[in-house]
Chains A and B, each alone.
Chain A
Amino acid sequence: MEQNAIECRNLTKRFGQVVANNGVNLTVKKGEILSLLGENGSGKTTLMNMLSGIYYPDSGEILVDGKPVTIRGPKDAFALGIGMVHQHFKLVNVFTAAENIALGYEEKGRYDIRAVTARVKEICQRYGFELDPDKKIYDMSVSEKQTVEIVKVLYRGAQILILDEPTAVLTPQETDKLFAVLRNMKADGKAVVIITHKLHEVLTLSDRVSVLRKGEYVGTVNTAEATADSLTEMMVGQKVDLHLDRPLPKAPAPRLVLKDVSAVSAEGVHTLDKVSLTVFSGEILGIAGVAGSGQKELLEAIAGLQPISEGSICYDDVRTGAAEELRGKTPLQIRDLGIHLSFVPEDRLGMGLVGSMGMTGNVMLRSYRSGKGIFTDRKAPRQLAQRLKEQLDIVTPGVNYPVRRLSGGNVQKVLVGREIAAAPTVLMAAYPVRGLDINSSYTIYDLLNQQKEKGVAVIYVGEDLDVMLELCDRIAVLCGGKLTGLVDARKTTKAQVGTLMARQEKEDA
């Protein structure tokens, strides 16, 4: 018989002035996979952190197996059989997998890493994980690290497994593997809660879906009765058009001409290998490729952040009509020509924004040189920050609130918005929707489309091929630093792009 593994009643949690969860109810049954949906900043992670003991609720009640419990810390959560796999892995880099798994777990008897290793192997076999317990974390790929996290939770005998956006960092194949493992756990009678943005994953994997919106509980539906559209509507609170506009480029003219551009990394590897490419005004050029195929290097070469070993990058300046060679120019000179890079790294704040400064301060990073004499002009940036906040719907208590404390989607809006505000002629956006929910993603797509219509040459590096095929005019495919294809996005299929992405690997094999 199905029984409730967890029941939350009226949970509320505040961070200063921000209410992260407001009277949230949630029920998780044994032997089911529950998806928790919600836009960025809707309080999914906060809710799960309260269940795993990272945060303590301000008010409300949690019931496990029908009994009211108090979860004061992670230890209490373990004791109740609740295990969480965080979005940002909580692993010690210099430890082995087994050491990480043993960490903080007080078993009877002496500490014996060999016994831990043996049990880890046993768990891996039972659920079908692939993991080497003696491998150090810093040698591991993202998906291996995630496996360590999940095994760690199972090692502690968790009956309730919470996964915070587990697929955001995985390739499609790795995702399939993960889902197979999760289904094994479900068959084993464990309760699984999965937080995700990807609607098709929700629909294929879960039994029920619970939705949060702006910190409040919206409702729960059976997956069998839900569609992508109905879930989106619950999440956003209004109907959202999932269709992307793609106007034809107006009067395209060559804006950037790359010729035989090569770059060599510090380790002596060719990160770019004779890439020749023309970027036109008024189009969105997509760059596709497996992670680490040279996308980042290509953008950095154009932006002047990375020296190129050979080749030339010619920029056609519409304002003066002159053709400029970008090679050898400093990043600042290149930016002054109107070429802007908005790069969203995996940790979002690593490049481009200063976490402890507010929106005003971060906007100023682009304009502080324009003040009079030794004084900076704070007024214009403040107004711009205010305008960005309103136009892009950035949720922040104020323009001087540290951006580090904003949710991921809002951080990305600040980053992209700032670059667009400078009226660029070339806009490079790398992974601008990484980790974003649907609504925020579409805001970003709309922003890119607006720029395109203004005649800006937009270069878009993305991960989701479906979106790229809908949004971009042309797609350049990189593989191992080489340009393996340049296709018309209107006439290409996902499979064709996929083949180009893997071309190099086949040759090597």
Chain B
Amino acid sequence: MELILTILSKVFTVTFFQKAVTQGVPLLFGATGEILTEKAGNLNLGIPGIMYMGAVGGLTGAFFYELNNPDPSGAVGVLLAFVGALLFSAFGAFIYALLTITLRANQNVTGLALTTFGTGVGNFIGGSLSKIAGTSGQITVYTTGQAFRTTIPGLSQIPVVGPLFFSYGFLTYLSLALALFFAYLLVRTRYGLNLRAVGENPATADAAGINVTRYKYFFTILGGAVAGLGGLYFVMEYLGGTWQNNGFGDRGWLAIALVIFALWRPLRAIWGSFVFGGLYILFAYIPLGDAAQEILKMLPYLVTILVLVVSSLRRRAEEQPPASLGLSYFREDR
């Protein structure tokens, strides 16, 4: 009883919620990107690699800018970091799209290979930058990192409400805006209708005059770019512009799990990302010893399995993955 009270008193604090949001944002970017990709019928398991590439891409852009400018401007650093992250992650998604859409390679194998590849690229470039950075080996893009961490000046000072809602950098709000935007796009626009049709039944979409290949490419690459922003968030706002090889951890997989948890809906992914973020750090708030911590770290995945079980049992067609997810499409295949 006492234990539960301790836990509750620790969990129901402003800091816990704040940290849950901080952990949730990269997941939300990743899940939004993966939802777009999966709605096009492509199961991109390369998302962890792509997010990692986005992280190192953003770092690279900012790093060379700050290296060559003794008095760097935060705005330019942010811009270059953005360009770097988007280019790297879009490139990763392009490799996946080329292999699975044009060459019709197996999506699972391609995705897993891409995750391994992306992690390798990230570690390689991260290591190289450390050498360039010099003796200490510790990269910092301090100015850019601080620019990413800038909060809205007045609002963040308000007690309770300030730290809860206004203590984050602009990427946090961008992640929410993107999720809202794509939720609207999916349900309320012709593009969304076409995109969903491509993922459900590409032959039908094709017969209806939709360019299936173009939709698959566009949304797979766009999805990769959006997911890459999750990596950018992690390296810039979360780490404050520093780098550590493999620091990204299993967040990429968590983003894919979040897609299932959210039942392929960006709006559910928003609150789902905060739930996952909270579950991800919960172990630090429950004093049960080291062994128990490892079990608690599994919580987000356990919840995902539960969601899978429940949605499979309920068998509602609206809660299932896109029907042709994982299958490649070839028009004249009989």
List the interface of chain A (C-beta within 8 A of B): 15, 52, 54-55, 73-75, 78, 84, 86, 90-95, 99, 102-106, 111, 136, 138, 404-405
Known pairs A52-B207, A75-B209, A136-B317. 7 more at Cβ < 8 A?
A54-B206, A54-B207, A91-B201, A92-B200, A95-B193, A103-B193, A103-B197
Report whether A99 and B204 are in contact in the complex, using a CB–CB cutoff of 8 Å. no
The residue that A104 contacts in the complex, of B194, B323, B334, with Cβ under 8 A, is B194
CA distance A99 to B190 in the complex (A): 10
Report whether A90 and B200 are in contact in the complex, using a CB–CB cutoff of 8 Å. no
- A15-B334, A93-B323, A111-B190 known; A86 vs B207 contact (CB < 8 Å): yes
The residue that B204 contacts in the complex, of A55, A75, A92, A138, with Cβ under 8 A, is A92
CA distance A55 to B210 in the complex (A): 15
Report whether B204 and A91 are in contact in the complex, using a CB–CB cutoff of 8 Å. yes
CA distance A55 to B207 in the complex (A): 11
B334 CB contacts on chain A under 8 angstroms: 15, 404-405
Residue B251 at the chain A interface, CB threshold 8 Å:
no
Report whether A95 and B197 are in contact in the complex, using a CB–CB cutoff of 8 Å. yes
- For B199, the closest partner residue in chain A by CB is A92
B201 CB contacts on chain A under 8 angstroms: 90-93
Contact with A along B205-249 (1 / 0, CB 8 A): 111111000000000000000000000000000000000000000
Which 6 A-B residue pairs are closest in the complex by CB-CB distance?
A104-B208, A75-B209, A90-B204, A111-B190, A74-B209, A90-B207
B290 CB contacts on chain A under 8 angstroms: none
A54 CB contacts on chain B under 8 angstroms: 206-207, 331
B320 CB contacts on chain A under 8 angstroms: 94
- Output the residue of A54, A104, A404 with the most chain B CB within 10 A: A104
B194 CB contacts on chain A under 8 angstroms: 103-104
B207 CB contacts on chain A under 8 angstroms: 52, 54, 74, 84, 86, 90
- A15-B332, A111-B190, A404-B334 known; A92 vs B209 contact (CB < 8 Å): no
Report whether A74 and B318 are in contact in the complex, using a CB–CB cutoff of 8 Å. no
B314 CB contacts on chain A under 8 angstroms: none
- For A73, the closest partner residue in chain B by CB is B209
- A78-B209, A93-B323, A405-B334 known; A111 vs B200 contact (CB < 8 Å): no
- For B318, the closest partner residue in chain A by CB is A94
Contact with A along B114-152 (1 / 0, CB 8 A): 000000000000000000000000000000000000000
B265 CB contacts on chain A under 8 angstroms: none
Report whether B210 and A103 are in contact in the complex, using a CB–CB cutoff of 8 Å. yes
Residue B189 at the chain A interface, CB threshold 8 Å:
yes
B193 CB contacts on chain A under 8 angstroms: 95, 99, 102-103, 111
In the complex, how many angstroms separate the beta carbon of B62 from the nearest chain A beta carbon?
40
Residues in B136-193 with C-beta less than 8 Å from chain A = 188-190, 193
B196 CB contacts on chain A under 8 angstroms: 92, 94-95
Report whether B317 and A93 are in contact in the complex, using a CB–CB cutoff of 8 Å. yes
- A111-B193, A405-B334 known; A103 vs B204 contact (CB < 8 Å): yes
- A78-B209, A104-B209 known; A94 vs B190 contact (CB < 8 Å): no
In the complex, how many angstroms separate the beta carbon of A90 from the nearest chain B beta carbon?
4
CA distance A52 to B203 in the complex (A): 13
- For B316, the closest partner residue in chain A by CB is A94
- Output the residue of B201, B203, B205, B320 with the most chain A CB within 10 A: B201
CA distance A418 to B288 in the complex (A): 64
Report whether B317 and A138 are in contact in the complex, using a CB–CB cutoff of 8 Å. yes
CA distance A84 to B201 in the complex (A): 17
Number of interface residues of B (CB under 8 A): 24
Residues in B305-334 with C-beta less than 8 Å from chain A = 317-318, 320, 323, 331-332, 334
CA distance A405 to B197 in the complex (A): 25
In the complex, how many angstroms separate the beta carbon of B301 from the nearest chain A beta carbon?
27
- For B190, the closest partner residue in chain A by CB is A111
Q: What are 18 residue pairs bridging A and B, where the CB atoms are less than 8 Å apart in the complex?
A: A54-B206, A74-B206, A74-B208, A91-B201, A92-B200, A92-B204, A93-B201, A94-B323, A95-B196, A95-B200, A103-B193, A103-B194, A103-B204, A104-B210, A105-B209, A106-B190, A111-B193, A136-B317
B200 CB contacts on chain A under 8 angstroms: 92-95
In the complex, how many angstroms separate the beta carbon of B311 from the nearest chain A beta carbon?
14
- For A52, the closest partner residue in chain B by CB is B207
- For A402, the closest partner residue in chain B by CB is B334
In the complex, how many angstroms separate the beta carbon of A340 from the nearest chain B beta carbon?
29
A111 CB contacts on chain B under 8 angstroms: 188-190, 193
- Output the residue of A52, A73, A94 with the most chain B CB within 10 A: A94
The residue that B332 contacts in the complex, of A55, A84, A91, A93, with Cβ under 8 A, is A55
CA distance A75 to B209 in the complex (A): 5
In the complex, how many angstroms separate the beta carbon of B273 from the nearest chain A beta carbon?
24
- For B320, the closest partner residue in chain A by CB is A94
CA distance A405 to B323 in the complex (A): 23
CA distance A52 to B207 in the complex (A): 8
In the complex, how many angstroms separate the beta carbon of B146 from the nearest chain A beta carbon?
42
- For A406, the closest partner residue in chain B by CB is B334
A84 CB contacts on chain B under 8 angstroms: 207
CA distance A15 to B330 in the complex (A): 14
In the complex, how many angstroms separate the beta carbon of B20 from the nearest chain A beta carbon?
32
Report whether B317 and A104 are in contact in the complex, using a CB–CB cutoff of 8 Å. no
The residue that A90 contacts in the complex, of B189, B190, B203, B317, with Cβ under 8 A, is B203
B206 CB contacts on chain A under 8 angstroms: 54, 74
Report whether B317 and A105 are in contact in the complex, using a CB–CB cutoff of 8 Å. no
- For A407, the closest partner residue in chain B by CB is B334
CA distance A75 to B205 in the complex (A): 11
CA distance A95 to B196 in the complex (A): 9
In the complex, how many angstroms separate the beta carbon of B212 from the nearest chain A beta carbon?
10
CA distance A95 to B195 in the complex (A): 12
CA distance A54 to B320 in the complex (A): 29
- A93-B323, A94-B317, A111-B188 known; A104 vs B332 contact (CB < 8 Å): no
CA distance A180 to B31 in the complex (A): 50
CA distance A102 to B208 in the complex (A): 9
- For A84, the closest partner residue in chain B by CB is B207
CA distance A404 to B334 in the complex (A): 7
In the complex, how many angstroms separate the beta carbon of B26 from the nearest chain A beta carbon?
30
CA distance A104 to B209 in the complex (A): 6
Report whether B197 and A92 are in contact in the complex, using a CB–CB cutoff of 8 Å. yes
CA distance A124 to B102 in the complex (A): 40
In the complex, how many angstroms separate the beta carbon of A178 from the nearest chain B beta carbon?
20
In the complex, how many angstroms separate the beta carbon of A406 from the nearest chain B beta carbon?
9
- Output the residue of A15, A75, A99, A103 with the most chain B CB within 10 A: A103
B323 CB contacts on chain A under 8 angstroms: 93-94
CA distance A111 to B193 in the complex (A): 9
In the complex, how many angstroms separate the beta carbon of B12 from the nearest chain A beta carbon?
39
In the complex, how many angstroms separate the beta carbon of B313 from the nearest chain A beta carbon?
13
Report whether B332 and A90 are in contact in the complex, using a CB–CB cutoff of 8 Å. no
In the complex, how many angstroms separate the beta carbon of B110 from the nearest chain A beta carbon?
21
CA distance A317 to B265 in the complex (A): 59
CA distance A277 to B223 in the complex (A): 61
CA distance A481 to B111 in the complex (A): 49
In the complex, how many angstroms separate the beta carbon of B218 from the nearest chain A beta carbon?
16
B318 CB contacts on chain A under 8 angstroms: 94
Report whether A104 and B197 are in contact in the complex, using a CB–CB cutoff of 8 Å. yes
- Output the residue of B194, B209, B334 with the most chain A CB within 10 A: B209
In the complex, how many angstroms separate the beta carbon of B174 from the nearest chain A beta carbon?
25
CA distance A103 to B210 in the complex (A): 8
CA distance A90 to B324 in the complex (A): 13
CA distance A86 to B203 in the complex (A): 11
B197 CB contacts on chain A under 8 angstroms: 92, 95, 103-104
B332 CB contacts on chain A under 8 angstroms: 15, 55
